[in-house]
Structure 1
Amino acid sequence: MPRQILRANASNPASRVSIISQHLAGVPPASTLTPSNSNSLSSIHARSLSSSPTFNMSSQPDHPTLLIPGPIEFDDAVLQSMSHYSESHVGPGFVATFGETLSMLRKLFQTTSPSSQPFVISGSGTLGWDLVAANLVEPGEDVLVLSTGYFSDGFADCLRLYGANVDIVKAPVGSRPQLPEIESALKSKKYKMVTVTHVDTSTGVLSELQKLSETVKSVSPDTLLIVDGVCSVAGEEIDFDAWKLDGVVTASQKAIGCPAGLSISMFSGKAMDAFKARKSQPGSYFASMKNWTPIMQNYEAKKPSYFATPSPQLVHALHTALSLILAKPLSERFAKHKEVSDKIKKTVTDLGLKQVAGNPEDQAHGMTAVYLPESIKATDLLPKLANSGVIFAGGIHKEIASKYIRFGHMGVSVTDPARGDINKALAALENGLTACGYQKA
């Protein structure tokens, strides 16, 4: 399908739900975690898997290794911090923890600008779409969505629901829109916002951000550049200030390495000014920046505040996850994800398989989407992988859903090689293909 700009059509939500649920086929239920109680971060770290050279010292029950593009495997320390005793969400202990968490997010996103505003709100990564659509765009304003797959299109659906006029620059499956066509679209009309999915989880396609930002700022300097970083933050480099990004939305359960349940985002001073200048009220009550901004600012200043109840246990887990991430230079973390990704992609190639993202420059470093041989179905292979103790995900892109599988490799499975997660997965993949009758040509 040629690249084109098109007016987004209404989608079928039921169809999208059906597609995304297919990856669950043949996967046994995960074990229930019952972590030991601990209130001391230092004692948690002492028992942490990441500080231990052997997997059997983990406090987690035996379970299949989860290598889907999120949720991912979690460090023991993160899970154990979830067992923090109950406390008031406006008490001094939690307020201090939440404030530190918000400040650490500035380091993760690489922003030192005092006008940048972090948000941590109970909800999934999808809540980030609502936060953008309800606050930064008013009904009737034009938005340009750069589509690389299922989740890019989902963002367009959300924006349209809030009344935005959505145009899409759509790339063929497995690739991304190119700068010349994006520049042409930006010259065709005045867009309030451009959205880009940094890593579209449905295809494993990685979008380039730095040159994209330069193009947007050059052609249409008033246009906001918003990044869906749900499957990229903490696994792919994002330099918020240097790249002049206006917003990045993400979630807790992917490369950040915290259980699902937190919508995490960062917005520039320019984006916050755009919100303040809107003529109509935000389109959502719960996802309103008007309601949440003073809460976040108060928490970061270590002042108790209330709009809606946060999850103290999840915030403790996020605090621990960020502490582990920031204990080493971010550059090392990004390099490690690239190193492991290169190893996985080489193995995939050596097995005679192809990736959905065909161009190496378009390939994400936290996941790999792999086309299956024509003779093998995902519903045959995935159960065999599960029987080997490894969980991969099936395909969800509607045009190719039955033809590929997805291998998530981010967070502790990458940064702690002593776990053996990646080697175990690669061996399981090769053995599973063989058991399905596959022979490399």
Structure 2
Amino acid sequence: MKGRKLLMIPGPIEFEPEVLRAMSAVTTSHVAPSFIHSFGNALDLMKKIWLAPAGQPFVVAGSGTLAMDMAVANLVEAGDNALVISTGYFGTRYKDILERYQVNVTILEAPVGEVPSLETIENALKNKAYKVVTMTHVDTSTGVLVHSKEIAALAKKYNALSVLDGVCSVAGEEIKQEEWGIDVVLTASQKAVGVPPGLALLVASEKAIQTWEDRKTLVSNYYADWKNWLPIMKAYQERKPSYFGTPPVNLIMALETSLRIINEEGIATRIQKHKQLAGAFREAIAAIGLKILPIKKEDAANTLTAVYYPEGVEMASFLKHLSKLDVIVAGGLLPEIKTKYFRVGHMGAVTSSDMISTLSAIEFALVKSGFTFKSGIGLSTFQKILNSSLE
């Protein structure tokens, strides 16, 4: 870490050295045999990481918002009904995206730190026929985790397509796309997948592809239209050259590298590591005397933690002192409480050493900002909890 700061925000994250080496390799042609092989491998690995052997992966240059847009642009038509399960900033964004396609949107919002109950969701599905249900698995603005398996089951029960915004969860939280019957699982490269920003990633189920094929109107978004991208993905999966838009060659080679690392570790092992680190970190935060945004433990994400500042500690003071120890965390994102909390990302290649450095910096910044607590309590709690979970 010498010579640079430790990046502990909810994306971009710290990346594996091997991934960064792939990024710095000499850029080749997008139809070079080596790149075709790399792209095809990346697509195959996505199906393994997503646990969707029959799914259709898509890799497109763009952000997580493009992945959100692409998922619904291909599934909905004007006049359709959509149900949005919202736990923060990005649930609201999905509502905004859907409304661009002249869709009738119902949004189920919960108070900050909570999730809409399954009963509330089922009542909504009972009372209106919905084409699609979207859910933000982990809202990056709040650190709140929704229980996607149960929501997907309700969507299936009422014959609605389910779309999981997994931007802050894929490769960090448990997702079994095919087993759980989720129709689209999307993410972005810079989160737990572990690749620098620039790739929109999603896997569509056979049902989702069939729904797209059966639509009566053109997809209203040219760049996002699966008609343009599906032949490209299939060609690369067959290790053949193809072209619609020039792919970001080095990013895709980095994607293959990171997905290979995740697959070799094992997705179940990877997720368990996230759970252990996050659980120990939350206990450490509580021991210091701080509160997190999620009200219930079971609703707290394993990829990031959103933490309220204690009374008397100002955001500017805290972040200034934190930066002195070369650790970067993210400020608040929800407009109504933006200055009242901060966010720590702990996903992908993050290690226990990174977490210890972060906790040490948080304790230092709190002391310098005038907050009183037992010095070292967060660090000792983290190590105690982590050690017990590894036994």
- Give the TM-score of the pair, scaled to structure 1: 0.83
Structure 2, gaps ≥5 residues long: 375-391
How far 1:421 moved relative to its partner?
Answer: 0.9
CA deviation profile, 1:306-343 (whole Å, cap 9, x unmatched): 00000110001101101111112211111110000011
Residue identity (%): 45
Of 356, 361, 375, the match for 1:428: 361
| Corresponding position of 1:149 | 88
Q: Report how far residue 355 of structure 1 moved.
A: 0.5
Instruction: Compute the displacement of 1:112 (Å).
Output: 1.5
Aligned to 1:200: 139
Aligned equivalents of 1:391, 1:383: Cα separation in 2: 10
- Corresponding residue pairs, total: 374
2:49 corresponds to: 108
Which of 316, 328, 340 pairs up with 1:403?
340
CA distance in 2, matches of 1:312, 1:216: 37
Which digits, 9 at most, give the CA deviation of each residue in 1:395-434, with x for residues without a partner?
A: 01122111100010011113xx4xx211000011011101
Match status 1:330 vs 2:267 = yes
- The one of 212, 222, 228 aligned to 1:285: 222
- The reply to whether residue 386 of structure 1 matches residue 319 of structure 2 is no
Matched, 1:353 2:294: no
**Quick one: distance in 1 between partners of 2:323 and 2:78?**
46
In the TM superposition, what is the alpha-carbon distance from 1:300 to its structure 2 partner?
Answer: 0.7
Whole-angstrom distance in 2 between the partners of 1:394 and 1:169: 25
**AA aligned opposite 2:236:** Y
Q: Please report how far the alpha carbon of residue 62 of structure 1 lies from its aligned counterpart in structure 2 after TM superposition.
A: 2.2
* Residue of 323, 327, 340 corresponding to 2:277: 340
- Over residues 354-403 of structure 1, what are the superposed CA-to-partner deviations in whole Å (9 max), with x where a residue is unaligned? 10012001000010000111211222211211111100000011221111
Structure 2 SS opposite 1:242 = helix
Equivalences for residues 109-258 of structure 1 within 5 A: 109-113=50-54, 116-218=55-157, 220-221=158-159, 223-258=160-195
Code of the residue aligned with 1:380 in structure 2: it is S
**Structure 2 residue 195 is the aligned partner of structure 1 residue 262:** no
Letter in 2 for 1:68: I
8 Å CA contact 1:136, 1:275 repeated in 2: yes
User: Aligned partners of 2:48 and 2:269: how far apart in 1?
Assistant: 14
How far off its partner does 1:133 sit?
Answer: 2.8
Residue from 345, 367, 370 that aligns with 1:437: 370
Residue 27 of structure 2 is aligned to residue 86 of structure 1: yes
2:29 is the alignment partner of 1:62: no
* 3-state SS, counterpart of residue 31 of structure 2: coil
**1:78 shift after superposition:** 0.4
Q: Is the 8 A contact 1:247 1:267 kept in 2?
A: yes
Runs of 5+ consecutive residues of structure 1 not aligned to the other structure: 1-54, 56-60
Alignment check: 8 A CA contact 1:146 1:177 kept: yes
| Letter aligned with residue 160 of structure 1 | E
Aligned partner of 1:370 among 299, 307, 318? 307
Matched, 1:310 2:247: yes
- Give the corresponding residue for 1:274: 211
Q: Which amino acid aligns with 2:314?
A: K
8 A Cα contact 1:143 1:194, kept in partner: yes
Q: Which amino acid aligns with 2:113?
A: G
Is the contact made by 1:199 and 1:364 (CA closer than 8 Å) also made in structure 2? yes
Give 4+ residue runs of structure 1 displaced > 4 Å after superposition. none
**Where does 1:46-57 land on structure 2 (aligned, <5 Å)?**
none
1:301 and 2:238 matched? yes
Instruction: Find the aligned partners of 1:342 and 1:124 in 2 and give their Cα distance.
Output: 29
Cα distance in 2 for partners of 1:109, 1:71 equals: 20
Q: Report the Cα distance in structure 1 between the residues aligned to 2:186 and 2:152, rounded to whole angstroms.
A: 16
Are the counterparts in 2 of residues 250 and 265 from structure 1 also a CA contact under 8 Å?
A: yes
Cα contact 1:134–1:162 (8 A) shared by 2 = yes
SS at match of 1:233: coil
Residue pair 1:129, 1:159 contacting (<8 A) in 2 also:
no
Secondary structure of 1:431's match?
Answer: helix
In the aligned structure 2, how far is the partner of 1:346 from the partner of 1:164? 43
Give the Cα–Cα distance (whole angstroms) in 1 for the partners of residues 357 and 285 of structure 2: 14
Structure 2 distance, partners of 1:360, 1:246, is 27
SS at structure 1 position matched to 2:105: strand
State the partner residue of 1:26.
Answer: none
Q: Within 1, Cα distance between the matches of 2:337 and 2:101?
A: 29
Give the letter for the 1:276 counterpart.
Answer: E
For residue 180 of structure 2, give the secondary structure of its aligned residue in structure 1.
coil
Measured after TM superposition, the shift of residue 215 of structure 1 is 1.9
SS in 1 for 2:317: helix
CA contact under 8 A between 1:197 and 1:229: conserved in structure 2?
yes
| 2:377 alignment counterpart | none
Q: Distance in 1 between matches of 2:190 and 2:90?
A: 16
